[in-house]
Each structure stands twice: as structure tokens, then as C-alpha cells.
């Protein structure tokens, strides 16, 4: 009997739990007699580059990776089969579509199916490859939790835990020095990390992209938190936040083929705006940055990622392609890739969690 081959890859920014998904896929496949698993290095680059970089994945290769952060396969958020970076004759960079060539190459490599573990950008690639006839299953990952068709993406709860522990630490130094602390967190267009950690850490102010802020409202809250010069105030701000009528703070990275604007700096901007608005207390800003994505996944994310891995492999075995696995409590279900990438999951300004946060006295600057 000839073996069938499934190729696994991780795309986009890394995220705690990626290795747990890979392990889940390999362990489930090992229970079948007719499937073998290979890993493609650095998203689809392992197939697109010459020489090809593909590794056999067996139970030995996934031993002891459950708790390991990052991804044993490597990843990238640059380029991809539809936008492969090439240098033009005049020295500038452009892109070419290499998707047909890549699908042909997967055929030469006897790849029967692909599991693409990635965020919205990666699942958009899965959807386009699926339309071209590739047997593909998507697994949603991102610390931002911004995919609408799954209750949670793995990695998100770990990022929230890291941010919450950081707030706990900032509280002690803020209280000792009577300072205002601004903590900037990731999340791109979604305020989920900021909102969850602000509630869990007992912050006073939470600024998210979905609710543009008015500086006077934040100043008002700060003053309430002080009795003359005694007091402190903790502000959590999402990197994609913006003032009413303003825009996000970020810049192009200048990295070839990079898919995003690099967000960052809104915390310092808020500090400057507060000073300009007349806040006289000391203000300090902490940017957590990639600490939020590094290190070991917490138990919730290990469980979710492991389940996603097992189910994705089962979809492959059952021939259920063109689907993304998703968590719909209490089940792990399949969502057609077309639907999976249609909308972002953003915080509702009138939703339950913002309501609860306001009930706790958290100010959103609106
Ligand atoms: O999408 C995950 C994420 O961590 C975002 O929260 C953040 O804006 C972005 O990736 C950072 O990307 P990079 O690792 O390329 O700086």
C-alpha cells in the first residue's frame, strides 16, 4: 500500500501553541497506516525555494514540543505563493504569482493534502489555493483573536496572561511612585488583548481601536485616581488605537515583501497628548511587544491547539478540504474557507465585555 502524504506549514507571525498543533497532527496521523506527515519550512517558502526544504515529521520529531513556544517549522509574514518578491530590472522590488508553479511542485513531491496553520492572511492564501484545486485545511492561529469564525484562536489566552502579569508588576511600581503607567499591547485592528488584560489586571483605562479616544476623558479619569499628588493610574492601550478623528500610529518596515504596516508607538503618543492636555503627574510608557508572543503556551492554548491539530488531520483523512477548523463551544467544527476569512472579529463597543468593563469603572475614552 502506498503512503499518502500531508504537508504541514506555519505562516504569519508566530504564536504560542503552534508546536502543539503540529504535534496533534503528527500523533493523529500516526494512528493511521496510510498517512505520513511532512513539514514545510518557513510557511510555503520551503516549497517555493530551491533547494526544497521539507522535513519528515514523525512521533520522534514532535517529542517534547508541546510546551515549546515558536514553531519548529519556522514561519514568515512576508511574500507567499501569490506575492513572491522579485527584484525588478531598475532595482526596485515587485511581486509575481507563483501559485500554479507551487501546486505543480506539490504534485511532483507527492503531497496529497496541505494543512496551513496561520492567521487571516494565511487563511486567505489557503482559500485561494483551495479555489485552484489544492486539497487544503486551515488551522486558525493568532494572538490577536481577530478571526470571526472561531470563538478563540490559540495563543490569545497566553498573550492575555503575559499582559496581565505585566500589569500586576506595573501596579506596584506605579503605586510606589504615584505615576501614570501606559502599557501598549498588540492586537492590530482588534482590542481583545487590551480589553481582556485590562479587566484581568484591574486597569483604570482601556483604549482599543474599536472605540476612538477623547483625550479629555482619559485626563478626567486620571485626575479621579489621584488625591492631590497621591495615587496612580494604569492605562492599557492597544497598538491599533486612535484618537477621535485621528489615525493609527505606525510605519512601513522597509522589509521586502512584508505584508503589514508595523504598528507601534501609540502609547508614547498618548503620553505626549496627556502632557499637552495638562496632566502633571509623571507618565511612563511600557511597550510589551513580542514578549506577548514568546514562550510557552498556557494550558488553555495547549488544549485548543492540540484539538485543532487532531481535527485538522481528521479532516484530511475524511477528505474534508477547503475548510478551516474552528472552536464553537463546546465543539471543534469545520468552516468553509470562504466564510472563515470574510470578516474580522472585532470588539463590539456595545457588547458584553465592554459593558462589564464599564461596570468595573474602566474608562474607554469615549
Ligand atoms: O498578528 C500578530 C501580531 O503580533 C500583531 O499583534 C502585531 O501587530 C504583529 O503581529 C507584529 O508583527 P511582526 O512580528 O512582523 O512585528
In the chain the domains, ranked by start, together with CATH numbers, are: 4-154+297-329 (3.40.50.450), 157-294+348-359 (3.40.50.460)
State the closest ligand 1 atom to the C-alpha of 12, by its place in the atom list counted from 1.
Answer: 1
Residue 168 has pLDDT above 70, yes or no: yes
Atom 16 in ligand 1: residue holding the nearest Cα: 262
pLDDT above 90 (res 107):
yes
How many angstroms is it from 142 CA to the middle of ligand 1? 9
Residues at CB less than 6 angstroms from ligand 1: 13, 77, 119, 142-144, 186-188, 239, 262-263, 293
Ligand 1 mean position, distance from CA 269 (Å):
19
* Cα Rg of the chain, angstroms: 22
Grid coordinates belonging to 11: 505562516
Nearest CA to ligand 1 atom 12: 13
- State which ligand 1 atom lies nearest to the alpha carbon of 258: 15
What pLDDT sits at residue 256?
77
Q: Which residues lie below 8 Å from residue 241, measured CB to CB, with a gap of 6+? A: 191, 194, 207, 208, 209, 212, 213, 248, 266, 270
Helix axes 99-108, 120-131, angle to 10 degrees: 70
Look up the pTM and report it: 0.96
Predicted local distance difference test score (pLDDT) of residue 2: 83
Known catalytic membership, residue 144: yes
pLDDT at site 259: 65
Q: Is 44 exposed, middle or buried (0-12, 13-18, 19+ CB in 10 A)?
A: buried
Q: Which atom of ligand 1 is nearest to the CA of 186?
A: 6
Q: How far is the CA of 263 from the centre of ligand 1 (A)?
A: 8
**Which ligand 1 atom is at minimum distance from the Cα of 187?**
6
Q: What is the CA(143)–ligand 1 centre distance, in A?
A: 9
Catalytically annotated residue among 144, 146, 204, 301: 144
Q: Rounded to whole angstroms, how far apart are CA atoms 148 and 333? A: 14
Q: Which of 209, 214, 183, 211 is nearest to 197 (CA)?
A: 183
Predicted confidence (pLDDT) at residue 45 exceeds the cutoff of 90: yes
Q: What pLDDT does residue 327 have?
A: 97
Amino acid at each position: 500500500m502506498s503512503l499518502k502524504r500531508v504537508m504541514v506549514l506555519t505562516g504569519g507571525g508566530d504564536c504560542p501553541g503552534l508546536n502543539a498543533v503540529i504535534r496533534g497532527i503528527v500523533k493523529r496521523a500516526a494512528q493511521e497506516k496510510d498517512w505520513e506527515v511532512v513539514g514545510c519550512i518557513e510557511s510555503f517558502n520551503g516549497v517555493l525555494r530551491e533547494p526544497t526544504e521539507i522535513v519528515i515529521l514523525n512521533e520522534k520529531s514532535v517529542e517534547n514540543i508541546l510546551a515549546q513556544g515558536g514553531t519548529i517549522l519556522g514561519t514568515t509574514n512576508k511574500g507567499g505563493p501569490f506575492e513572491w518578491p522579485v527584484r525588478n530590472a531598475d532595482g526596485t522590488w515587485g511581486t509575481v504569482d507563483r501559485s500554479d508553479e507551487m501546486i505543480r511542485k506539490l504534485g511532483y513531491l507527492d503531497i496529497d493534502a496541505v494543512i496551513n496553520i496561520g492567521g487571516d492572511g494565511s487563511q486567505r492564501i489557503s482559500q485561494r489555493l483551495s479555489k485552484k484545486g489544492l486539497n487544503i485545511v486551515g488551522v486558525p492561529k493568532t494572538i490577536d483573536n481577530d478571526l470571526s469564525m472561531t470563538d478563540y484562536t490559540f495563543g490569545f489566552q497566553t498573550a492575555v496572561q503575559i499582559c496581565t502579569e505585566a500589569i500586576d508588576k506595573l501596579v506596584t511600581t506605579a503605586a510606589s511612585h504615584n505615576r501614570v503607567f501606559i502599557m501598549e499591547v498588540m492586537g492590530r485592528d482588534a482590542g481583545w488583548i487590551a480589553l481582556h488584560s485590562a479587566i484581568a489586571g484591574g486597569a483604570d483605562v482601556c483604549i482599543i481601536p474599536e472605540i476612538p479616544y477623547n483625550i479629555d476623558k482619559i485626563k478626567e479619569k486620571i485626575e479621579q485616581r489621584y488625591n492631590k499628588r497621591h495615587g496612580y493610574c494604569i492605562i492599557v492601550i492597544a497598538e491599533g488605537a486612535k484618537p477621535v478623528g485621528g489615525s493609527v500610529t505606525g510605519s512601513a518596515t522597509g522589509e521586502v515583501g512584508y505584508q503589514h504596516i508595523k504598528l507601534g508607538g501609540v502609547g508614547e503618543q498618548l503620553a505626549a497628548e496627556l502632557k499637552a492636555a495638562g496632566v502633571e503627574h509623571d507618565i511612563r510608557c511600557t511597550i510589551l511587544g513580542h514578549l506577548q508572543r514568546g514562550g510557552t503556551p498556557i494550558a488553555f492554548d495547549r488544549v485548543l491547539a492540540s484539538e485543532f491539530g487532531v481535527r485538522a488531520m481528521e479532516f484530511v483523512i475524511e477528505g474534508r478540504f477547503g475548510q478551516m477548523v474552528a472552536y464553537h463551544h463546546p465543539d471543534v467544527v469545520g468552516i468553509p474557507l470562504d466564510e472563515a476569512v470574510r470578516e474580522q472579529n472585532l470588539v463590539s463597543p456595545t457588547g458584553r465585555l465592554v459593558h462589564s468593563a464599564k461596570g468595573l469603572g474602566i474608562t474607554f475614552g469615549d
